[in-house]
Amino acid sequence: MSRFRSVSSGYRRVAPLTKGVEVNILFIIIAVVAIILAITGGLVQSLNFLLWVGLILLALAVIAWLIRALTGRNTT
């Protein structure tokens, strides 16, 4: 594509991208990457918390099963 545009009186130079536009595009890209990293970081923290909760509940279930098995209590 030519940098010149045809107008009725002849050719006029079309301005290239200005520095302000380039800065805005760069800012948008950085913002999108920051939002994605924030979301994934938050998801990793919440999944880590849920993993620990699951492990604690599993330990409590095993302890309860051992107590019931050692005491000989029959639930049927």
- Put simply, whether the predicted model's pTM sits higher than 0.75 gets the answer no
| Residue 5: strand pairing partners | 12
| pLDDT at residue 11 is higher than 60 | no
37's enclosing H/E stretch is helix 19-71
Q: What are the structure tokens assigned to 15, written together? A: 């301005």
Rounded to whole angstroms, the Cα distance separating 35 from 42 reads: 11
Query: Do the Cβ atoms of 12 and 3 come closer than 8 Å?
Result: no
| pLDDT at residue 35 is higher than 70 | yes
Q: Given this model, what pLDDT does residue 63 score? A: 94
Instruction: Give the residue-averaged pLDDT of 40-59.
Output: 88
Q: What is the mean pLDDT of the chain?
A: 76
Instruction: Give the residue-averaged pLDDT of 1-27.
Output: 60
